[in-house]
Amino acid sequence: MLTLAYLISFLDRQILALMVGPIKADLQLSYPEISLLMGAAFSLFYAFMGIPLGRLADRTNRRNIIIIRITFWSLMTAACGLASKFIHLFVARIGLGAGEASLTPSAISIISDYFSRRERGRAIAVYNMGVSLGTGIAMVWGGAVISVVVDSPGIEVPMLGTIRVWQYIFFIVSIPGLLVATVIFLQYSNRLEPRLWKQMKQVFQ
């Protein structure tokens, strides 16, 4: 589940790269503004927020941090689809970076507790697969979604009216994160952790 969450985080952050053209045209953005959205808005807050969130993971419930922050960054991804100005998209990207910064500190801390020193390297390696898988799936799945709806001049969404294709794609991409957060919450609320732990141990052995 941690690897899947990591994968989704890369999907959410990379999907913007596929839609630079239409976003730039609709919001009348300059190339420096696009570079800020893809670079500084996300990366600076992702890097710096990792430090206080890492300390928070050492002192509070890491599971709850992960659930709350996955939900938060998924909502920020959806918020990107509501943007009508540069500043709206910029703030949403800041929120996305700040939300995703909490995952790895909490995940590594959990993995360190769940796995022995002998098994920990493999467990962390599996978790880090989310980086490459997420980037690749963002390109493939994101491209597939765009190819399906690219010819539509606008899409009708309840309560929002007609929206652009790139906005609709942000809404779609936000859904997997919300589903993962829900699954993690249900797993722990139903006390399924011991069974899942046993299954994972069998996989690594």
SS3 203: helix
SS (H, E, C) 146-167: HHHHCCCCCEEECCCEEECHHH
| Contact call for residues 72 and 14 (beta carbons, < 8 A) | no
Instruction: Report percent pLDDT > 70 for the chain.
Output: 82
Q: Which domains occur in the chain, in start order?
A: 2-204 (1.20.1250.20)
The 10 Å Cβ neighbour count of residue 9 is 27
pLDDT tens digits, 31-89: 999 999 988 888 888 888 888 888 888 888 888 889 999 999 999 999 998 888 999 99
| Contact call for residues 119 and 113 (beta carbons, < 8 A) | no
The residue count for the chain = 205
Q: What is the pTM of this model?
A: 0.81
Residue with tokens 């799936």: 137
pLDDT-derived band at 92, boundaries 50, 70, 90: very high
Q: How far apart are CA 70 and CA 76, in angstroms?
A: 10
pLDDT tens digits, 166-204: 888 888 889 999 999 998 888 766 554 555 555 555 555
Q: How far apart are CA 184 and CA 64, in angstroms?
A: 9
Interaxial angle between packed helices 40-59 and 103-114, expressed in degrees from 0 to 180 and rounded to the nearest 10? 40
